[in-house]
Amino acid sequence: MNSTADVFQQLTRPWRVRLLAVAMRQATNRAQAEDWLQETLLRGWRDFSSLQDEQLMYPWLLKILGRVRADELRKEAHRSQLAPILRVDDQLLNAHECSAPGPFEQLLAQRNEQQLQQAISRLPDDFQWVVILRDIEGLSYHDIGYALDIPKGTVMSRLSRGRRMLAANLLDARKTNSMRKQP
């Protein structure tokens, strides 16, 4: 019979790379993302007995990652009030391909990774999470709702509004860049 630790390892191992990718899209550097992943797995292990459906392992871990990120950002904000910290932006963002791209996806395809990362980072947290989990990670509305502890309708609403804000951010960046190129 497998021990609880073995079961936890088997269930989390397939999701670790994706969790790290999600964390890296939100973190300022790889080390921070790795710290968030480690803390996520530690909290997951601590609360493993509360997982009711093993099929929901990835959304459950995303929910924990969201809490870890929020806790760390809260601590960081408090620390920055004490002493400002110089930040270096992480440039990693993998584009999510779609078999039949719509206007939103076509706009995203025209942007480079840095522009997309910057546009996503300017979204409010609630919208940022939904856009990343749906459009980059490819999660279902149900899984996003579970991960963020919000109803499916709220997921759909935030996704729609988040995409509009993201498109506006990308268009603003395009205008700014074209103005810089003009003599």
pLDDT digits (tens, 9 = 90+) for 21-52: 999 888 888 989 999 999 999 999 999 988 88
**pLDDT tens-digit map of 117-150:** 888 888 998 899 999 899 888 889 999 999 899 9
The number of angstroms, rounded, from the C-alpha of 126 to the middle of its chain's C-alpha atoms is: 10
One-letter amino acid of 142: H
Q: How far apart are CA 42 and CA 37, in angstroms?
A: 9
Domain residue limits at 16: 1-92
CATH number at residue 174: 1.10.10.10
Q: Which of the four pLDDT bands, split at 50, 70 and 90, describes residue 91?
A: very low
Separation between Cα atoms, residue 133 and residue 62, nearest integer Å? 9
pLDDT for residue 82 is more than 80: no
Q: What is the mean pLDDT of the chain?
A: 79
Q: Domain total for the chain? A: 2
Query: Do residues 115 and 181 both lie within one domain?
Result: yes
